[in-house]
Copies of this chain bind each other. A is one copy, B any other.
Amino acid sequence: MTEQHNENIERADMPCISKADQLSKHITGRIISGQWKPGQLMASERQLAAEFGMSRAMVRESVTQLVGKGVLQSRHGQGTRVCNPMAHLFDEHFGDLPQDSYELQLAVLEMRTVIDGEAAWYFCQRASAEEMQMLVSEFERMEQRRHHAMTPLERAKADLTFHMLIAEHCHQILIISLAQLLYSKFFNAIYGVLGRTHRRTGAYPPHIEEQHRNIFQAICSRDAETARLAAEQHILTTRQTLEQLEPGRQS
């Protein structure tokens, strides 16, 4: 019986699946599962060949397939990277928007509400112990630098690091992809508000650190729902800060 079954399965599956195809599926799986992230440098062809017990020729064939599909991108002398599957759509729709438009900043905050909330939620559910430890270390580093004088750009980069660390390790391909695109393409739209607040008040918005700590603590206790709420609240407060900076434009 069992043998019969196996035979059928083999008959149905084997005839068309070459080794290269198998590898392609495996790689795609790793990407979809978030194990390999967009932008990440893959292991070299030689390493992959060793890891999967096949020749480099087969790895190359598989990589060629995936490059053709826009999943991977290889560069001579540099390596092969995972492409961001959302990049194309993102560029298409948000191509060359002016970064300083008020409406764009609101729209970006709208998106951040979803992305940062989900990122915190998935991080709680899926991050490994090592990844959690990375977050702890990063947070401690931020706390230490808390009272040092920082330029708006430094401050923005520190904030970016915190949020991206959560997103990058949330093991959810969609969130990772979108977070990368949002934070890189709209860096100015996101962090311009920091500079403007600093210029007017001589300090950064006061809620940031406390809310970061709220997110951090919820994540530390793996409380996904609380983490999501804390992340959403963080964006909400940021929105209020933005609205106070542009008082005439509130609806």
Give A residues with C-beta under 8 Å from B: 20, 57, 60-61, 64-65, 68-69
Residues of B near A60 (CB, < 8 A) are 61
What CA separation (Å) do A20 and B20 show in the bound complex?
17
How far in angstroms is the closest Cβ of chain B from A249?
45
**Closest 6 pairs between A and B when the two form their complex, measured CB to CB:** A68-B68, A64-B64, A65-B68, A61-B64, A64-B65, A68-B69
Complex copy number for this chain: 2
Residue of B nearest to A66 (CB): B68
Residue of B nearest to A61 (CB): B64
Residue of B nearest to A75 (CB): B16
How far in angstroms is the closest Cβ of chain B from A68?
4
Prevailing SS type, chain A contact patch: helix
Residues of B near A57 (CB, < 8 A) are 57
How far in angstroms is the closest Cβ of chain B from A191?
34
What CA separation (Å) do A20 and B64 show in the bound complex?
10
Residues of B near A69 (CB, < 8 A) are 68
What CA separation (Å) do A61 and B62 show in the bound complex?
10
Residues of B near A61 (CB, < 8 A) are 60-61, 64
Residues of B near A68 (CB, < 8 A) are 64-65, 68-69
What CA separation (Å) do A60 and B65 show in the bound complex?
11
Residues of B near A64 (CB, < 8 A) are 20, 61, 64-65, 68
Residues of B near A20 (CB, < 8 A) are 64
How far in angstroms is the closest Cβ of chain B from A77?
12
Residue of B nearest to A67 (CB): B65
| Extra A-B contacts (10), CB below 8 Å, given A20-B64, A64-B64 | A57-B57, A60-B61, A61-B61, A61-B64, A64-B65, A64-B68, A65-B65, A65-B68, A68-B68, A68-B69
How far in angstroms is the closest Cβ of chain B from A13?
15
In the complex, 12 of the A-B residue pairs with CB atoms within 8 angstroms, ordered by the A residue number, are: A20-B64, A57-B57, A60-B61, A61-B61, A61-B64, A64-B64, A64-B65, A64-B68, A65-B65, A65-B68, A68-B68, A68-B69
How far in angstroms is the closest Cβ of chain B from A109?
38
